[in-house]
Structure 1
Amino acid sequence: MLRVIGKRLLLLVPTMIGLSILLFAWVRALPGGPAVALLGEKATPEAIERVNELYGFDRPWYEQYFIWAGRLLQGDFGTSIQTSRPVVDEFMRRFPATLELSFLALIIAVGIGVPLGYFAARRYGKVSDHASVILSLVGITIPVFFLAFILKFIFAVKLGWLPSDGRQSPRIDATHPTGFYVWDGIITGEFDAAWNAIVHLILPAVALATIPLAIIVRITRASVLEVQNADFVRTGKGKGVAPRTLRTRFIMRNALLPVVTTIGLQAGLLISGAVLTETVFAFPGIGSFLATAIFQRDFPVLQGFIIFIALAYALINLIVDVSYTLIDPRVRVQ
């Protein structure tokens, strides 16, 4: 197992090098530039030249890349052009918000998607099965930003049941030692602050969870359908295996591998795909800050944040691969 993990971590090195090259080229290919975004369209050529010289954007592209890559290896991700703060500090300020949002969205997607997909497979061909297929198709096709606006209009504006933006109400005077507002409220005993943070998470988490939920339902349904018609399941039935054992140890355990793979991929996408959701709900996470960085041509933030997200995505997939050995002993033997 340790050898497999070591190999995967070694493969991560050329992957990140290739990503850094592509990322550097993509950022430099964006129309405009940091100087124009910072100074405005009416900025003089002399002022633009001074800003480019200040940040080193007037140097050859290969020289810029090697300077950036060298600093990256030393843990220096640069300084944000927007805020003049280190990119690492900006990321650490906003990552807890995105992680809380993604975690709740994943709980919703898995907690509803897996049981619903299993139930649909067990009721194959019936009304409930057809309804789950139709609802999953609707969930996949509805754009996240459109659903976010609908949820915000109905539950925040019209009904007033839930807050429409932010992580916490301004009236809440809470301490945040870790930056995870829900956890901070629990460990400090400020349970009203923790509940208020949860309430603020509900609408964006539901909007963000819709597409992963629909995908998990479809994958779970297809996987369970395939396994429950397998020969070893029919053999178990013929030998009189208890229905509960048949469902848990024979069907569900063997159907989990593709489901776990899907959950891992969706977890990575939730972290990287919260841009629209955070923007609609004015949620101060890495997604909304990344969107602002694109418009402001904040190269250090774009490069640093995307590298961070790619590392998180790769580590999540590594955890998923390791979890295979816990689900299926055959993977452990291989």
Structure 2
Amino acid sequence: MLLTMARVISRRMLVVIPILLAVSMLLFLVLRLLPVDPAAMSLPPTATNDEIEAMREAMGLNLPIPHQYAIWLRDTLSGEFGTSIQYRQPVGELIAKTLPATIELAVVAAIIATVVGIGGGLVIFRMRGTVGEAAGDVGSLLMLSLPDFLWGLILIFVFGVFWPVLPFIGRLDPGMVQPGGTGFLLIDALAAGQVRVFWSALVHMLIPATALGISFAPIVMRVLRSSLLDVYQEGYIAQARMRGVSEERILVSHALKNAILPTLTLMGVQFGFLFGGTLLIEVICSYPGVGNLMVGSVRNADLPVIQMVGLTYCAVTLLINTLVDALCVALNPKATA
């Protein structure tokens, strides 16, 4: 299985690398065409025209755009991502500080979406032909019709304001210190044996992660139910019934393992949208992730940060899709890599 996954990943990388290169070109071109002068923004407001021009030359902004891109690509491949205009810090350090928070949020949201989506899909399928199925359809459509940021606002109002049982700002309670390590707060807190920090981080994550998960779960429900309906038309389901196998065992042991593959593929593709959806949720909940960094950088026209964050979103999405493709091929020998 691991060998199959490694083979698929190596093939996918031949496609991923050109995509990342094309995205980096597009981002670089669009940002350079904006009516923003990074050189002037890097200097105090009292800077003279000569000082601004000298800064432009130092930053290479006086060169043709293809030449600028070649310099940027060379520096990026060597691990030099530039310096933030707003924060006066290396861009790589800023992303390294904020990206784990966003990945952690997206993973928790994906777990919530998986539990709700697969559980809800099984319940709705089990109630097929009844009033419960119609109610489940209406409920999934309602969940799907509201965007994640609106779910975030609703959850904040209900559980943060009207019935204040959950925090909705930041990652930790005031006064708590984030333990060092990987940057993934839940992992670092457990590794350090700080149960209170772990619990605080988990509770702070519930509202933004649930908002993302609720908007993602209905798609999983509907695809899983559709896949189960197709699987139940297969002959081996009828044969299992003839052998006296219970409906619960047929559903879980026979049908689900075949219907889960299309659902898994969809979840991998949709995870990219879920990861991108963290941007607005992070702003609403003041969650210090890479999405919040992106919004602050856009407000201040911090071009080096905008470019690297955009490229990071693309890279993470492509990586997740590649891993899911490899897993699906490994689980289904009939699939083609």
Q: 1:176 and 1:35, CA in 2 relative to 1: closer, same or farther beyond 3 A?
A: same
User: What is the CA distance between 1:122 and its match in structure 2?
Assistant: 2.1
Aligned to 2:317: 313
Q: Are the aligned partners of 1:175 and 1:184 in contact in 2 as well (CA < 8 Å)? A: yes
Partners of 1:38 and 1:281 lie apart in 2 by 30
Give, as a single letter, the amino acid of the residue that structure 2 aligns with 1:74: S
C-alpha deviations, 1:41-92, integer Å up to 9, x for none? 9998667655544433333211111111111221222221111211111111
Give, as a single letter, the amino acid of the residue that structure 1 aligns with 2:228: V
Question: Secondary structure of 1:330's match?
Answer: coil
Q: Which runs of 5+ in 1 are unaligned?
A: none
Aligned to 2:223: 219
Partners of 1:278 and 1:51 lie apart in 2 by 34
Give, as a single letter, the amino acid of the residue that structure 2 aligns with 1:290: M
User: What is the CA distance between 1:174 and its match in structure 2?
Assistant: 4.6
Partners of 2:248 and 2:150 lie apart in 1 by 41
2:139 is equivalent to residue 135 of structure 1: yes
Give, as a single letter, the amino acid of the residue that structure 1 aligns with 2:301: R
User: What is the CA distance between 1:123 and its match in structure 2?
Assistant: 1.4
Deviates more, 1:321-330 or 1:130-139: 321-330
2:265 is equivalent to residue 288 of structure 1: no
- The number of residue pairs the alignment matches comes to 333
Aligned to 1:149: 153
Q: How does 1:229-268 map to 2 (within 5 A)?
A: 229-268=233-272
C-alpha deviations, 1:219-277, integer Å up to 9, x for none? 11111122112333223323444544422342111111110011112222222221100
Partners of 1:266 and 1:189 lie apart in 2 by 34
Give the CA RMSD over aligned residues: 2.5
Aligned to 2:303: 299
Q: How does 1:321-332 map to 2 (within 5 A)?
A: 321-331=325-335
Deviates more, 1:244-253 or 1:255-264: 244-253
- Partner of residue 73 from structure 2, selected from 69, 80, 96: 69
Q: Are the aligned partners of 2:41 and 2:85 in contact in 1 as well (CA < 8 Å)? A: no
Partners of 1:272 and 1:154 lie apart in 2 by 25
Q: 1:3 and 1:97, CA in 2 relative to 1: closer, same or farther beyond 3 A?
A: closer
C-alpha deviations, 1:290-323, integer Å up to 9, x for none? 1111222212111112222222211211211121
- Partner of residue 27 from structure 1, selected from 23, 26, 31: 31
Partners of 2:138 and 2:117 lie apart in 1 by 14
2:10 is equivalent to residue 13 of structure 1: no
Partners of 1:38 and 1:277 lie apart in 2 by 30
Give, as a single letter, the amino acid of the residue that structure 2 aligns with 1:202: L
C-alpha deviations, 1:180-209, integer Å up to 9, x for none? 222222111111111111111011111111
Give, as a single letter, the amino acid of the residue that structure 2 aligns with 1:224: L
Q: 1:210 and 1:242, CA in 2 relative to 1: closer, same or farther beyond 3 A?
A: closer
- Partner of residue 116 from structure 2, selected from 112, 119, 123: 112
Partners of 1:217 and 1:53 lie apart in 2 by 56
Q: Which runs of 5+ in 2 are unaligned?
A: none
Aligned to 1:92: 96
Q: 1:62 and 1:197, CA in 2 relative to 1: closer, same or farther beyond 3 A?
A: same
What TM-score does the superposition give when structure 1 sets the normalisation length?
0.90
Question: Secondary structure of 2:335's match?
Answer: helix
2:208 is equivalent to residue 204 of structure 1: yes
Q: Are the aligned partners of 1:157 and 1:164 in contact in 2 as well (CA < 8 Å)? A: no
Q: 1:36 and 1:222, CA in 2 relative to 1: closer, same or farther beyond 3 A?
A: farther
Runs of at least 4 residues off by over 6 Å = 36-47
Partners of 1:192 and 1:101 lie apart in 2 by 18
User: What is the CA distance between 1:135 and its match in structure 2?
Assistant: 1.9
Question: Secondary structure of 1:83's match?
Answer: coil
User: What is the CA distance between 1:39 and its match in structure 2?
Assistant: 7.3
What TM-score does the superposition give when structure 2 sets the normalisation length?
0.89
